[in-house]
Chains A and B, each alone.
Chain A
């Protein structure tokens, strides 16, 4: 490994430590000021997004998406509209040598503000990559695993014409859609690359990560993470030929139901721990002239052998995109999810398990317009229909229309 190293300067002196202590006290009293200073320092290293040499300073770049959204609940009186900074991503990339690259991606969502107690901050990616030969790479660290075509680009808003992403990828709908059950969101080791086979290019990726939601406590509501026992393994195999790309993806990880579920099942010895969970995905994208058709499906099932519990899920989406000009793209599509999940409720005979099925269907339309290379204006309209069945009986349904206008800016 031929990582180029740089002299880090003199050894820290007593004066240095005092300065550091002063900075820490300042940070304790004025966290926003220190955050601003840190950002200024980081941005000060910024360089234009051009070809980087391993002796150059780190590249700092990113993007954000502002939106104005309006939810029309069709006369129910619950309509509302809101401005928000849907997402801001700050990325830092540094080529350490011709083969080694480090990359960090920090994500702030929903107008993140600690003082107002809204939004969220997420360390989305932090990995180092080693290029193996001409066409393969090994990534080590926190990374977004390859699953279908959309998973790795789902948060890269400048690449997408959508404001609301295809449902299984839309983290802002996390209250309604179990995003992390549909898709693997994190892995820690990945080997991927491309193999040319005549005119066809075979894309492949395999990865490992942690199984999520492994509870270490028998107390209800505990969802502490213990990653010592089970892992996530997965991959994608895809093919590209001219303007057609297709792929299949799959993962296996292990899931724990909340501890109290075991006591509510009538099976004398129920196993609710380390349930194998399988995800299967398929993706297709075909471009012919100005028209692109893209679609995906995801199936999730739990191999739990428990008749009283169903947690399987599925998701489909298909979108037709038309490039009217090089700047203007219009699209129309149909997205749908079906989620089985369970909840614990107090009935006449005490607590009981209830199986729910939630369905969401969205015919959706929109357009995006590129202003130069770095600014994209977006408009998005969706007719949302949600249904909730409990024990096989329709318990709730509601419809609303979503209107969104956004600006995605890359810097």
Chain B
């Protein structure tokens, strides 16, 4: 038998014996290990929920001026509007899109929804600008600004948190973005 130190002792004990010893050392009883096991799982689940909750729960409301002749929009239509491909509503009135200046949860969630990174959208607009195909949506500082401008600008579209939207605008969609934009 090789020379053993105090630290090596555990290697020669059964797994069950070690667990019982550790519980006893902590002042618990053998049946407490089931409770401890469940508490550990619960703690892990809470951590996971806290970590993933903002991405899963945050929603974005796509809002529009009440003059806009549609009641809903699809993801692809919103993408086309915010990349300058779609410039008119079905009745021929011009689309006026508003963006947010600062990157934040709502803006990030919005870009997740349309499936493009903010940097990709910037490069698309740089190309549009240099080709004479138009300039990017006006960026406003706050969601309150977006709400106000959309409410008073015919043909306008924007995005805010759902709880921000009120009767002054039309809500075209409330979306929960999926992750994975290019």
Contact = CB atoms under 8 A, between A and B. Distances in A.
Interface stretch (A25-33, A110-118, A153-161, A396-404): A153-161
Contacts of A168: none
B97 to A, nearest CB: 8
A224 interface: no
Interface in A216-266: 243
B126 A91 contact: no
A49 B88 contact: no
A273 interface: no
B130 A51 contact: no
A153 B122 CA distance: 16
A152 B127 CA distance: 10
Contacts of B126: 158-159, 373, 410
Interface in A31-70: 49-52, 59, 61, 63
B135 A49 contact: yes
Interface residues of B, number: 26
A61 B129 contact: yes
A135 B127 contact: no
Given A134-B87, A158-B126, A51 B131 contact: no
Nearest to B120: A326
A98 B132 contact: no
A410 B127 CA distance: 12
Contacts of B182: 243, 287
B138 A135 contact: no
Interface residues of A, number: 31
Contact of A135 (B86, B123, B129, B132): B86
Contacts of A125: 132
Interface in B127-175: 127, 129-132, 134-139
Best-buried of B129, B130, B136 by chain A (most CB within 10 Å): B130
Interface in B79-127: 85-88, 90, 92, 94, 96-97, 117, 119, 122-123, 126-127
Contact of B132 (A50, A105, A158, A287): A105
B130 A134 contact: no
B130 A52 contact: no
B67 to A, nearest CB: 14
A133 B134 CA distance: 16
Contacts of A61: 129
A156 B127 contact: yes
26 contacts: A49-B135, A50-B139, A51-B96, A51-B137, A51-B138, A52-B134, A91-B130, A101-B134, A131-B87, A133-B88, A133-B92, A134-B86, A134-B87, A134-B88, A135-B85, A135-B86, A153-B131, A156-B131, A158-B130, A159-B123, A159-B127, A159-B130, A243-B182, A287-B182, A326-B117, A373-B126
* Those 6 A-B pairs whose CB atoms lie nearest each other, nearest first: A103-B132, A51-B138, A98-B94, A156-B130, A134-B88, A326-B119
Given A51-B138, A125-B132, A153-B127, 12 more contacts: A49-B136, A51-B96, A51-B135, A51-B137, A63-B130, A91-B132, A103-B132, A135-B85, A153-B130, A159-B126, A326-B117, A326-B119
